[in-house]
Amino acid sequence: MRVFSGIQPTGAIHIGNYLGAIKHWVELQKKAECVFVIVDLHAITIPYQPEELKKNIFDTAIAYLAAGIDPEKSILFVQSQIKEHTELCWLLGTVCPVGDLLRMTQYKEKSKQFKRMINAGLLNYPILQTADILLYQTDIVPVGKDQLQHVELARTIARKFNQRFGKVFVEPKSQIPKIGAKIMALNNPKKKMSKTLGPKSYISLFDEPDEIKKKVMTAVTDPGKQIKYDPQKKPGISNLLTIYSLFSGKSIKKLEKDFKGRGYEDFKRSLAKVLINSLEPFRRKRKELLAREVYVEEILNQGTKRAKILAASTMIGVRKKMGLV
């Protein structure tokens, strides 16, 4: 079984990225052949600073490793290092209808968020993501809920291509966690926790204890004071209960019982403690890795070499089927 997934180096990796994706990657490494990528070509579809991007790519690699991605088991690399991604993107663009791209929720949301820079890359983003996935003959794509639509499109494009030119691609399936597939922003529980919404919306994997405490204590909650899971009526506290449950291993029911009759403040104080303790090993590992820059670069170089072999092999089949040889 081949597993593929990635994250954009658009800022600090947060607990939403972790609970929705990375945590499951770490588990999947034990039983599947995994390819994990830092999708820098996706990150440049929104406004960015080149120097910052370079730093974010490195920081994202450190986040993967600190959170438990094992370079001995999994392939880890930076997308732009393998030209086959952009080549396949162009070819698949001739198979994908424009209408399918225009109805993608992420395109609609990001083009509202970045009104002044709605570029063709932002619209074509899902084709590049399809190319990323299909290049590695991926069976499973573990992602958060927001990426479900894109993976569905990748399946459709794979099917269309195979029908028109003959079978080359595996049709990938998404794997979405039952709980934690969409962690909401701390400062606005109606919106998804997101790197580009800014640090007040998220807790980074590497936030210091003081920051964690401050962000949790000021997280938006709902009227009333009951600790009860009800995402419609109480989106704020329900989101915090989900986070608490996933980091502590206690069920939401048990937490509701434990905190019965106690107020939000008590609950938040306890959640902050859980988060500070749970994220401590990540902070420690990151500090170690920051002092080993050459080692991290070598992991990425080795990953590129391994991924390149897989990507090049798929492209031979694609070119042949499309009459491009």
Site residues for ligand AQP per CB under 6 A: 7-8, 10, 16-17, 19-21, 143-144, 146-147, 181-183, 192-196
Active site residue 167: no
Give every strand in the sheet of 75-78, ordered side by side.
Answer: 75-78, 33-38, 2-7, 140-142, 173-175
Nearer to ligand AQP, 76 or 315 (CB): 76
Q: Which residue is nearest to ligand AQP (CB)?
A: 20
Side chain identity at residue 95, one-letter code: V
Catalytic site includes residue 160: no
CA dist list (Å): 202 to 4, 26, 146, 177, 186: 25, 21, 16, 19, 6
How many other C-beta atoms can be found within 10 angstroms of the C-beta atom of residue 229?
Answer: 16
User: Minimum CB separation from ligand AQP for residue 164, in Å?
Assistant: 29
Q: Between 93 and 177, name the residue whose CB sits nearer to ligand AQP.
A: 177
The H or E element that residue 76 is part of is strand 75-78
d(CA 44, CA 42): 6
From the candidates 23, 182, 195, 268, which is the catalytic residue? 195
CB closer to ligand AQP, 170 vs 197:
197
The total of other beta-carbon atoms located within 10 Å of residue 177's CB is: 17
Please report how close the Cβ of residue 261 comes to ligand AQP at its closest, in angstroms: 30
Nearer Cβ to ligand AQP, position 22 or 168?
Answer: 22
- The number of C-alpha atoms within 13 Å of 53 and in the hemisphere containing its C-beta is 16
Q: Maximum Cα–Cα distance for the chain, whole Å? A: 71
Nearer to ligand AQP, 92 or 205 (CB): 205
Per the residue annotation, which of 23, 182, 192, 213 is the catalytic one? 192
Q: Nearer to ligand AQP by C-beta: 74 or 194?
A: 194
Smallest distance from ligand AQP to CB 136, Å: 16
Report the C-alpha gap between 46 and 156 in whole angstroms.
26
Q: Which is nearer to ligand AQP, 67 or 276 (CB)?
A: 67
Q: At its nearest, how many Å lie between ligand AQP and the CB of residue 165?
A: 29
The secondary structure of residue 261, as a DSSP letter, is T
Q: How many Å separate Cα 82 from the centre of its chain?
A: 20
- Closest of 14, 24, 300, 2 to residue 132, by C-alpha: 2
How far does the chain reach from its first CA to its final CA, in angstroms? 30
Smallest separation, CB 74 to ligand AQP (Å):
16
Of the CA atoms within 13 Å of residue 291, those in its CB half-sphere come to 4
Q: Which are the contacts of 147, defined by CB distance < 8 A and separation ≥ 6?
A: 141, 174
For this structure, is 287 an active site residue?
no
Catalytic residue selected from 30, 54, 73, 110: 110
Cα atoms found within 13 Å of the Cα of residue 254, Cβ hemisphere only:
7
Q: What totals of helices (H) and strands (E) does the chain contain, helices first? A: 14, 5
Q: Which residues are catalytic?
A: 110, 192, 195
